[in-house]
Structure 1
Amino acid sequence: MTKEKPTGPTTTTPLHAVLTRRADAETCADPSSVMTLLGESDGTPGGFTSYRSSFAEGAAGAPAHFHTKASELFFVLSGSLRVLVGEEITTLGEGDFLAVPPRTPHAFAAAPGAEADVLFVFTPGLGRFDYLRLLGRVMRGEADPKEIAESADRFDNHYVDSPVWRAALEGSA
């Protein structure tokens, strides 16, 4: 019996550990939340982006959108987060985990009357920290909102209309 030898290159790219100390983590703030940028390793196999968002009571998060390449993972550290997945709205509480696969419309906000502290992970990452910085600049009036629309493909963030989500937000106002 003969064993076949692999043809072509057999080299692998080593993965590198990412460590961010609390004191060194960059923060981005907007009127509704504070985001702590934890780690990013885009462009590599197993790449990811991870950040933590602390939402003020009842604060809006992201409007309805989807990602074509990335899965978005949510872990509620404390508080309560209202989430749209497809056409269904659910509320996540402390310790709840949610994974949203690519091409699935979703949105999120702190639940009415509640704050929320949430860990987000995207895989693959795609340099998403630059997107979060852009969002902060737009919300503070330092950048034009059209920059967000123009960056949809770069950051794999595609906004969609969701009558279900709009109605839920209007109902809690």
Structure 2
Amino acid sequence: MTAERAGAIVVRAEDAERVELPAGGAFGLLVDGDATRGALGANRLTLGVGANGARPHHHAVSWEFFQVLDGAAEFLLGEELVTVAAGGAVAVPPLLPHAFGAAAGSTADLLVVAAPGVRRFGYFRALGDVTRGRLPFEDLRARQEEYDVYFGASAVWEAARG
């Protein structure tokens, strides 16, 4: 359960909602944008060895910040692939197409912060259902504007990650 202390939001690890993903991955839902009056949203994403995290997309409004807590992650930034190991970070501005996943042969543990924050927990829950085959991807595509997640394509990403 999320607790508020003097206006601060406290989310203990055991209280964060967990959305399971394939290959042992999961989203830990920490703070949704509505809880911060749109200032930011945050989640923790763990990915299994070499697993994809997000296909190519961009955000019209939000910056997206990734801190690699453990392992290594591969990022598509525009049409450039960049690998970032534990301790490194990536800040993606609005409109820049990007994608990410665990680097080949590695797991990835990421803290992900979007600012400004939008109500995106519903997106992560739906994405979990899509990855488990419970929901068609088109359901997410139909809600791109609501979640500030606009899907695209990248030949570079497809060639590197399939």
* TM-score, normalised with respect to structure 2: 0.91
1:18 and 1:40 in contact (8 A); partners too: no
Gaps of 5+ in 2: 1-5
Residues 93 and 54 of structure 1: is their aligned pair in 2 closer, same or farther, counting only changes over 3 Å? same
CA drift of 1:103 comes to 0.2
Q: 1:25: which partner in 2?
A: 16
Q: 1:127: which partner in 2?
A: 119
- Residue identity matched to 1:165: W
CA drift of 1:85 comes to 0.4
Aligned length: 156
- Residue identity matched to 1:68: A
- Counterparts of 2:130 and 2:81 in 1: how far apart (Å)? 27
- Counterparts of 2:52 and 2:148 in 1: how far apart (Å)? 21
- Counterparts of 1:76 and 1:119 in 2: how far apart (Å)? 7
- Residue identity matched to 1:19: V
Alignment of structure 1 residues 112-151 onto 2, 5 Å: 112-151=104-143
CA displacement 1:112-162 (0-9 Å, x = unmatched): 000010100001121111100000111222222211110100001011110
Identity of aligned residues (%): 39
- Counterparts of 1:141 and 1:162 in 2: how far apart (Å)? 23
Residues 18 and 44 of structure 1: is their aligned pair in 2 closer, same or farther, counting only changes over 3 Å? closer
Question: Secondary structure, in 3 states, of the residue corresponding to 2:55?
Answer: coil
- Counterparts of 2:123 and 2:104 in 1: how far apart (Å)? 26
Please identify the structure whose Cα radius of gyration is greater: 1
CA drift of 1:42 comes to 2.8
- Residue identity matched to 1:78: D
- Counterparts of 1:41 and 1:146 in 2: how far apart (Å)? 24
CA displacement 1:10-30 (0-9 Å, x = unmatched): xxxxx9321111121110011
Alignment of structure 1 residues 99-118 onto 2, 5 Å: 99-118=91-110
Residues 67 and 43 of structure 1: is their aligned pair in 2 closer, same or farther, counting only changes over 3 Å? farther
- Counterparts of 2:29 and 2:113 in 1: how far apart (Å)? 11
CA drift of 1:61 comes to 1.1
Question: Secondary structure, in 3 states, of the residue corresponding to 1:167?
Answer: helix
* TM-score, normalised with respect to structure 1: 0.85
- Counterparts of 2:35 and 2:69 in 1: how far apart (Å)? 28
CA RMSD, aligned part only? 1.6
